[in-house]
Each structure stands twice: as C-alpha cells, then as structure tokens.
Amino acid sequence: MTGIAVFDLDGTLVDTAPDLAASLNHCLAAACMAPMPLDVVRPHAGHGAKVMLREAYRRDGRDIDEAEMRDQVTRFIAYYQDHIADQSRLFPGVLDSMNRLEAAGMRLAVCTNKYERLAGLLLNALAVADRFAAICGADTFARRKPDPLHLNETIALAGGRSDLSVMVGDTVTDIDTAVAAGVPSVLVDFGYAPDAAARARASVIIEDYASLDISLVERLVADAGKVTRTKP
C-alpha cells in the first residue's frame, strides 16, 4: 500500500466557477432574476447549487422555498451537465505537480462533494480522469465531507493508507475533513474560500502548485498534526 494525494475538485484542481456561474444564471433567468456576476459567485462556487441559489435569492431579497429549490437544483444540474467544461480549466501547475507526485510513487485521488457522475464527466472532459486511482463524490459513500469517512474511504479505494496520505483543498470543509481523518492537509491559497478558519487549521498553505511536491508531502506525513505555513 502507498500514500495518496487526495484533491478536492472545485476551486482546488479545477477552476469551475465560470461554468457554475453560468448554470446559476440559467436558473435565475427562469425565475426572472438578474444574473449574478462571476466575482460574486466565485466564493460560493465550491459549496454546491443550493448554497449558490440561496445566496442569489438572498441578494435579490427573495426567499426560496423547498419546492422551488428542488426545481431549481434539477434545472441547475441539467444545464451544468450539458456545459460542464465550456470554460472550466485546471489550475496552473496542477499537471506538473501531479506528474511529480506520481513519479515519486504516490497515487492520486479526488474527494469532492460534487456528485460522482458529474466529477467524472468534468475530469473526462479535461482529459485527466484516468490519472486518478479513485474519484469519489458526495454520493459515493454513506457520508460526505466533512465526515472523515469520505476521505478515509477514498484513500482505501485508491489502494492507499491514510497515515501516508495528504488532503489538498481550498475550504474549511476540506481542512476539517482532513483533521477529523487524522490526515495532513494542504490549503491552496488561490481557491474559492480559503477563509480564516481554513487557514488556522491547515497543516500547510501554498500559494501555487509549484510548492506541492514529494518533499512537502513527506514532511507533512512525518510531522502530522503540526501546523506550518509557507508564508506568515
């Protein structure tokens, strides 16, 4: 068994915000609401359709009841599925970092709260799905992030060991999942929601993927639980 570099998807591996914003605005148009600018959507893009819809309705001074939420989520997912990689792109340096980690003997996996089917579609569209030993979504297991089962089972499915692995993410949900699973965490500073809570609990913070290599992973694994940072 080996170590696994486990990546969150939205805001960590892939900048999906433009396509998620387009899907949100498709739903808002159906409700006769004005579109939301990308810079307003971006901080919420990694939290799912419901969060984005609630925030959009709140900004418009409207409530969204359960029935309308169901209809809008269905509309959102249908549109998103058809436009899943129109503008979504891997973050700079991701492929080089993946290559370095694999060359050092690590396997790669994805642990996302996106539905597994949509995660697979996106990664296939970006021609990287076959790089991952496991792609696990919100519906893959009985529980999802921040429950540690999601991360630990992703690592197991990828054929690895939690005590040799790391979690890479951009939100406090990712960091809390790693802490609960006893896995060192890497917070990407350029993601959608690297808030104060995530920064305080992450094992390390990186500004770009040039910093993510086997030496960093080995240091984190050897010193699991100690909070360090690449910058103050």
DSSP character string of 116-175: HHHHHHHHHHTT-GGG-SEEE-TTTSSS-TTSHHHHHHHHHHTTB-GGG-EEEESSHHHH
Question: Which has more pLDDT, 143 or 224?
Answer: 143
Q: So what's the pLDDT on residue 225?
A: 46
| Mean of pLDDT over the chain | 94
- According to the model, what pLDDT value does residue 223 have? 84
Interval 84-108 mean pLDDT: 98
The span from the CA of 39 to the CA of 180, in Å, is 31
Q: Which two tokens stand for residue 80?
A: 């998103």
The pLDDT assigned to 1 comes to: 62
pLDDT at 227 over 90: no
Q: Cβ contacts of residue 208 below 8 Å, gap of 6+?
A: 92, 93, 190
- Catalytic residue from among 8, 170, 174, 176: 8
Query: 8 an active-site residue?
Result: yes
Helix or strand holding residue 59 (H, E): helix 49-59
Distance (Å, whole) CA 96 – CA 102: 10
| pLDDT, tens digit (0-9, with 9 covering 90-100), for 192-210 | 988 999 999 999 999 999 9
Residues in Cβ contact with 75 at an 8 Å cutoff, skipping those fewer than 6 apart = 26, 27, 30
Measured CA angle at 186 (ends 182, 188), to 5 deg: 150
DSSP letter string over 18-44?
A: HHHHHHHHHHHHHTT-PPPPHHHHGGG
Provide mean pLDDT across the span 78-105.
97
Residue 18, preceding peptide bond in cis (omega within 30° of 0): no
Residue range 169-175: mean pLDDT, rounded: 96
Measured distance CA(82)–CA(90) in Å, rounded: 19
SS3 184: coil
Given a cut of 70, whether residue 112 has pLDDT beyond it is yes
Say what the pLDDT of residue 80 is: 97
The whole-number pLDDT of residue 128 equals: 98
Pick the range with the lowest mean pLDDT from 28-37, 139-148, 222-231.
222-231
Band the pLDDT of 229: cuts 50, 70, 90: very low
* 11 confidence band (pLDDT: 50, 70, 90): very high
